[in-house]
Structure 1
């Protein structure tokens, strides 16, 4: 993957986003629903876009919120709706739109009691907490976030009564209804001003932060962390959970140094990512390069993206551990240090096969599903898994007693687990991973992103086994070509080609105008690069048919 000359350097003033221009575009741009680029489109996690190009405006958000109001009873929700938001500027604007629609529809919206931001995992936790032991008047949620996407982006996603990302039948219904409303110029959308909404009976304060932090003892060994006297820094990345980290430090008496823990919707403190874009990806070494300069001073540097569903971990002086490597460490530690007998783990098809190898060594099942955390939800609620992870630095796991913690990604518990692992085993995450590689082999992973139009993304999503006719890959016999997941037989939205010693997969991004190519080799970094190149040629050939 080519690295931009600005990668890892501080964002220049000329690249700061224009907040006034974004606000004007959000309020005054009316989408052309005959243009697919301006329609509501739910990817792997909600609708995302930009006000400047007419793909994320007040009209979009109002239509989506109204669609949820119209259908939530069919989805099983007749109780309150929990509302979360991250620190993107468009999230602030969309939050006001959402509350205006919910209140006008007589839907009780639970908002943060301290007027703070609310991370994705805190909303998931709130839904599950509220619905526990209830059989009627169940709650659901809306989370306003484009995840780690650049500062000018906006996003909104719906979490139904299960607490996790909505499954495809729900998102398709919301998408279709929202586009129908947009086509009618939102004439059927009920709304009131934000000022009227927040002062109405329908907007209710809720202690998201206090409840979430208090419950952490049920899932993390906070006593072990406190007793280990670890040197920890948190790079809050100006995100929605920055005050959660402060409360964690105060409530559990764990000393933490903080950086980037103030609200800055322009994200002026950021470093450019690998491609020269400003992207709040806490798992990127380029994004984290400003704080890794201090790595020798700390046992761990922990970070999360704006909605706090992803993790980034610097293993002290050893540097940053990759998401795939840490998922391997976390899953192995949990399955050997908790009483999770009878349960397995789960991963997506493009997450490292080290998880499968580790599971086989432990004699537990490993469920492989398509990309998207929504595919893990039922595995948790049915008691089949104790841990799940995806290569884009997302993971979650069950509480110590085996109860479900969240059905969405939780970057905070993944970071706290790194501290527990260091406290309990004395090993850094990288040392722990190296020990596992001695037993399981060392994988070499690579990923390449390429621009893709909506039409090209649809083409890649439609690839099947019959589109790949080659018999070998990098000189090794192709053992499997998958367009369906090994567990559940779900369409993976792309194709995965596997040999005995490696694999390559292609799928469109659900969050950006890209397609992603992944490769993993258990032979060498050179073979991983070759897998990537040959895989790219195979995909290009298949698309040309």
Structure 2
């Protein structure tokens, strides 16, 4: 039986770049999750009798909201729900299942790399039928609906056993509980040379993969150890936990410091990697070398032809605007298109669907290809393994040769987390007001060539996305980018991106922060970061 439940709107249900993210107690308010899910359904058309995919990263409150989502899917007229066993589905695996089974769309319950637990973060986002995040016009419609919603529909179907594989009748709607790993692992076998990687492991190649007690644990265990023959223990922290073991599941040099320290040690494995809460981000560290996400994108693109799934070549490369220009030089050499988009994977969807790009990447540790419509952490790690197996060189050797060929983009991101929202907005507003006067002036001996607030003109549908980040470009190719992030749940995160291009191999072994020191100081001079935020240093440097 379907019930119509009266409700009142909440004023704070505006989706960010990756859906709605709030603290768990916010989502635990009566009708809060139901309101947002119903606002999603009310913003869609034509889903009656269709399939909805539901899954999440296993964080606290995941199972409860999945039960609610299943009951509401039945109440709203979906014909079938596919849900991952235990409520588990990595974000890229969910994208693949939506595409493979031609589902109408999917609900992914995740707050990505943010911490989990009773007082930490939770999130819900809707992915469309192409497997990618909802486009802005849909998220805008969802927000508008959330401000006027007065009822939600829910079926009284009882609890679905999420741990038992198979089919369940839920008030006339079919629910299938599926192995969350199987379909994804099979897809990976079509893209990469598993035989070559197996041979590499048999030859003594050692790897450390930190799943951070997050969603990729079961995927890494199955693919790396069972299918590729990596030694037991290669996949670490592989059991997903509601609080991620009390740690922050963000694969960066702060939260994966133990892995970094090991990879810099005397007896380091050959290759180290990690993935985040929902499995869409990656960290790549070779023995004695950290490879930035921007460089990783460029190196993967330059070597992708070594993997069976990409031997025909790339159609194009896309990167988010704050990501370094390293991949631009690869695209130029390959003679293919290069696309600069706003931050947010949804902007890559049109390019991928139109066949204009094959590989995409963001500096925030997200890399992926046209095999799904999300960034994919484990995919990036497997492509690196395929390249290492085919080239027979270390990650350091591959990086050094790449920089000798293309030049090196020294690049870093400085995050100022949980800044008072008013202070962060004041900094950006003041900086925007000065943009027109900056070109032609000099800061610390560096002349500013151009300054703007990045606007993206989508080459596929003609849409325009404005105010996507402030860029200050210097003569010689250096730049500083200022942006407020949409992925946090409290306060504002100010992100400063600094980049300096160095073509001379004789200067490719500098310390990154040292190489960028003058540019970092100039960025503070220009924007007044310390003055506005009161911070003497960033919260995180990557």
Range of TM-score over shorter length: 0.7 to 0.9
| Residue 231 (structure 1) aligned with residue 199 (structure 2) | no
1:462 deviates by 6.9
Aligned residue for 1:443, secondary structure, equals: strand
Deviations along 1:204-259, one digit per CA (max 9) or x if unpaired, are 22344212111212212212111112322321211122112222132344445222
| Residue 250 (structure 1) aligned with residue 226 (structure 2) | yes
Distance in structure 2 (CA, Å) of the matches to 1:423 and 1:31: 57
1:364 deviates by 2.3
| Residue 149 (structure 1) aligned with residue 119 (structure 2) | no
Structure 1 residues 106 and 460: CA distance shift in structure 2, 3 A? farther
Using the size of structure 2 for normalisation, the TM-score is 0.81
Is the 2:214–2:249 contact (alpha carbons within 8 Å) kept by the matching residues of 1?
no
Is the 1:507–1:515 contact (alpha carbons within 8 Å) kept by the matching residues of 2?
yes
1:126 corresponds to which of 97, 115, 120: 97
1:119 deviates by 0.4
Q: Which has the higher strand share?
A: 2
User: Which residue is 2:535 aligned to?
Assistant: none
| Residue 51 (structure 1) aligned with residue 24 (structure 2) | yes
User: Which residue is 2:81 aligned to?
Assistant: 110
1:535 corresponds to which of 520, 523, 536: 523
Structure 1 residues 155 and 113: CA distance shift in structure 2, 3 A? closer
User: Which residue is 1:425 aligned to?
Assistant: 391
1:310 deviates by 0.5
Deviations along 1:129-180, one digit per CA (max 9) or x if unpaired, are 123xxxxxx5201100000101210011110112111111000111221232
User: Which residue is 1:92 aligned to?
Assistant: 63
1:416 deviates by 0.8
Where in structure 2 are the equivalents of 1:63-212 lying within 5 Å? 63-73=35-45, 79-112=50-83, 114-115=85-86, 117-131=88-102, 138-151=103-116, 152-181=120-149, 184=150, 187-190=151-154, 192=156, 195=159, 200=170, 201-202=172-173, 203-212=175-184
Is the 1:128–1:161 contact (alpha carbons within 8 Å) kept by the matching residues of 2?
yes
1:87 deviates by 2.1
How many residue pairs match? The answer is 482
User: Which residue is 1:60 aligned to?
Assistant: 32
1:78 deviates by 6.0
1:381 deviates by 1.3
1:446 corresponds to which of 412, 427, 434: 412
Is the 1:346–1:376 contact (alpha carbons within 8 Å) kept by the matching residues of 2?
yes
Deviations along 1:362-408, one digit per CA (max 9) or x if unpaired, are 332211010011111111111111100000110112xxxxxx31011
Is the 2:57–2:109 contact (alpha carbons within 8 Å) kept by the matching residues of 1?
yes
1:419 deviates by 0.9
Distance in structure 2 (CA, Å) of the matches to 1:113 and 1:452: 37
Where in structure 2 are the equivalents of 1:34-45 lying within 5 Å? 39-45=12-18
Aligned residue for 2:378, secondary structure, equals: helix
CA RMSD of aligned residues (A): 2.9
Is the 2:410–2:500 contact (alpha carbons within 8 Å) kept by the matching residues of 1?
yes
Is the 1:120–1:307 contact (alpha carbons within 8 Å) kept by the matching residues of 2?
yes
User: Which residue is 1:5 aligned to?
Assistant: none
1:326 corresponds to which of 273, 296, 299: 296
Is the 1:309–1:411 contact (alpha carbons within 8 Å) kept by the matching residues of 2?
yes
User: Which residue is 1:393 aligned to?
Assistant: 365
Distance in structure 2 (CA, Å) of the matches to 1:73 and 1:461: 38
1:447 deviates by 2.1
| Residue 365 (structure 1) aligned with residue 337 (structure 2) | yes
Is the 1:368–1:487 contact (alpha carbons within 8 Å) kept by the matching residues of 2?
no
Is the 1:346–1:385 contact (alpha carbons within 8 Å) kept by the matching residues of 2?
yes
User: Which residue is 1:401 aligned to?
Assistant: none
Structure 1 residues 78 and 347: CA distance shift in structure 2, 3 A? farther
Is the 2:34–2:68 contact (alpha carbons within 8 Å) kept by the matching residues of 1?
yes
Is the 2:473–2:480 contact (alpha carbons within 8 Å) kept by the matching residues of 1?
yes
User: Which residue is 1:484 aligned to?
Assistant: 454
Structure 1 residues 56 and 396: CA distance shift in structure 2, 3 A? farther
Structure 1 residues 113 and 440: CA distance shift in structure 2, 3 A? closer
Distance in structure 2 (CA, Å) of the matches to 1:496 and 1:452: 21
Unaligned runs of 5+ in 2: 1-6, 162-167, 459-463, 503-509, 533-542
Aligned residue for 2:319, secondary structure, equals: strand
